[in-house]
Each structure stands twice: as C-alpha cells, then as structure tokens.
Amino acid sequence: MDEPAPLEARVLRVDARQCEVLLADGTSASATMRGRLFEERGEDRSPVAVGDRVRVELEQASWAIAEVLPRRNLFCRRASGEDIDRRQLLAANVDQVIVVNSLNQPPFSSIAADRILAACSFAGIPALLVLNKVDLVNARKLERIMDSYAGAEVPLLPTSALDETGFGALRATIAGRDSVFYGLSGVGKSTLLNRLVPGLDIQTRGTSAALSSGRHTTSFSRLYPLPDGGTLIDTPGVRKFRPYGLPPAELRLHFAEIRRIGETCRFPNCSHRTEPNCMVQEALREGTLPKPRYRSYLELIQELEQMYGGTGAPPPPGPDHKTRR
C-alpha cells in the first residue's frame, strides 16, 4: 500500500526534537523532526521555529517533519549558554512583533527595548512597543519615556491589565494578523494575553521583590490561533536580549533617528562616536537626540563589535529611563 502524500502544516510548539503542528483540517498532532533537519541546520540551535510552515509525512501511524518550507521572515536572537555562537529561532512567518516592556515592577529599560527593536528592524518585521503597567507610574514619567521615542518610527501603546487601558487598540492591532508577543521576564506579557484573549489561561507569576526583576512563566514558545482570525505567539521571557547576525557597521541604520541625523555627517560610514563633524554628536549636545536612545546604541555596537569583529570604547554612564521604586 502506498504511503500517504506529504501534507503541509504549521508549527505550534517546538520541544527538542518533538513539535506540535496544526494540520490543514484544523486538528493538532505531534510530529518528530527528522534527523536530516538537524544535519542541515547550520547556524541554528534548532532547525524548526514556531510559526514555520512544514511538510509532514505519516510514518507507521506517526507524523514526521520532512521539510521546512521557505520563510517570509524570521525573528531570532543569539542563543545563550554553550550555544552562544548559534542562532535561536523565536518565531517565523509573522506580521509583527509586539515588544512588551514594563513601566514599573520591573522598571522600564530603554536598553532592553532598543535591542529588540533593532533586531526587528534588521529582520524587516514591523514592531509595536507596548508600555505596560501604566497604572504604576505618574503621567510625567510616561510622557518622558514616550518623548524619547518620538523619532524612533515605532508606534507606542500604554497598557494596563488592571483596567484594560489600551486593550481596544491592542485587540485591533492583532486582529487578523500573525503577532509575536515578546519581552523580558516579569513585564506582564502573560497577564496581558490572558486578559486580551479569554480562554488562553497562560500561567503567570509575580516579580521578584529581591531582584526587582521578572520570573520566567512561559517556558516555551506557543502559537495560538485566534477565534476571529490571525494568530499570536507567546514566547518565554528572557533576562537579556542579544541580536544575532546584525553587522556592527549597520546598527546605525536600525535606530531611525540616528539614521536620519547621520545622513548629514561628514563621513557616510560614520559610527557616530569619535569622528569629526558628526551630526549625531551635535544633536546629542543640542538635546535633540534622546540620551537613552544613544546610550542603547553605544552599548549594542560595542557588543556587536566584540562578537563580529572591531573595537569600541565601553559606553559612558548615563540614563536608561529606569523607573525608581
């Protein structure tokens, strides 16, 4: 008897060599990655990402992933631990990344947000910066943070799960689209999703009082089809986000206000640090370039140069928009 022809499916979850996939008939099934995929994975920690479209085959009553179909985009980061030289795939084939950052408990960090936003820009994926827990900060603090992103070409949305501030706009943003929710541990991402989409029932935990940082709740990425169309991908919180593959010399292109101001610099490849006639430095002195955004740029370009080659002086101490408790 002939084996059934390969079918297309979408990956809902990845766990080591095992995946959960959504078949064309709307049912989910467990599928094992074939060994050949690992042999061909190259720089990737795992060959399959949540959101991937794959070909699956039935083998002795069990599904196996035979091929990963071409991706339209890929959201990733540099892996941690022993796999630091590898790429960790976070999500594939998405319309947007919704970057969730807490305004308090844990404190807001422009450096954390800016790293993720730069990676989204490098991947060509639109991003939305959610400023969560707006109920825990005063209006002046919120205004100061929002002003620092006025030139970043990234939409901002203050939210609160307490009174559902911003929920109408957030629901409209995800309707009919494939969205990734991503952020550091403890920023309230899981609580937002549970309130946003009834029935998800994602486990949540509070922040660490001792460390003023978040605790991990989600331990794996998971794709959820939405009742009214579209999908959302919930991702594990992380302590630090490190972009993967972003050339240091291109970083300036992924900070929108630095890119625009830098077009008038004396040197077309100006790194905006010590070069003469640098208009970015001039804007910094005049106060038209927000210091937190520039500090994020300095810290990240130094890290990228250490990873991919080049040298750079460590960033000077400066503001990071951290809300004080």
**Tens digit of pLDDT for each residue in 216-271?**
344 578 999 998 889 999 998 888 899 999 999 999 999 999 999 999 999 999 99
Average pLDDT, the chain: 88
Regarding pTM above 0.75, the answer is: yes
Label each residue of the chain as H, E or C. Answer: CCCCCCEEEEEEEEECCEEEEEECCCCEEEEEECHHHHHCCCCECCCCCCCCEEEEEEECCEEEEEEECCCCCEEEEECCHHHCCCEEEEEECCCEEEEEEECCCCCCCHHHHHHHHHHHHHHCCCEEEEEECHHHCCHHHHHHHHHHCCCCCCCEEECECCCCECHHHHHHHHCCCEEEEECECCCCHHHHHHHHCCCCCCCCCCCECCCCECCCCCCCCEEEECCCCCEEEECCCECCCCCCCCCHHHHHHHCHHHHHHHCCCCCCCCCCCCCCCCHHHHHHHHCCCCHHHHHHHHHHHHHHHHHHCCCCCCCCCCCCCCCCC
Can you tell me the mean pLDDT for 83-89? 86
pLDDT above 50 for 314: no
Quick: pLDDT tens for 153-196. Answer: 999 999 999 999 999 999 999 999 999 999 998 999 989 999 98
Mean pLDDT of 40-46: 89
- Radius of gyration in angstroms for the set of CA atoms belonging to the chain, rounded to a whole number: 21
Domain boundaries for CATH 2.40.50.140 within the chain: 7-70
> Averaged over 260-285, what is the pLDDT?
95
CATH: 2.40.50.140, 3.40.50.1360, 3.40.1280.10, 2.30.130.40. Which one for 7-70? 2.40.50.140
The mean per-residue pLDDT over the stretch 6-33 comes to: 93
Q: What is the pLDDT of residue 4?
A: 58
The predicted pLDDT at position 223 comes to 96
CATH no. for 248-308 = 1.10.40.50
User: Where do the CATH 3.40.50.300 domains begin and end in the chain?
Assistant: 75-234
Q: Is the sign of the CA dihedral 36, 69, 243, 176 positive or negative?
A: negative
Residue ranges matching CATH 1.10.40.50 in the chain = 248-308
Q: Which CATH superfamily is domain 75-234 in?
A: P-loop containing nucleotide triphosphate hydrolases (3.40.50.300)
Angle at which helices 189-196 and 167-174 cross, to 10°:
80
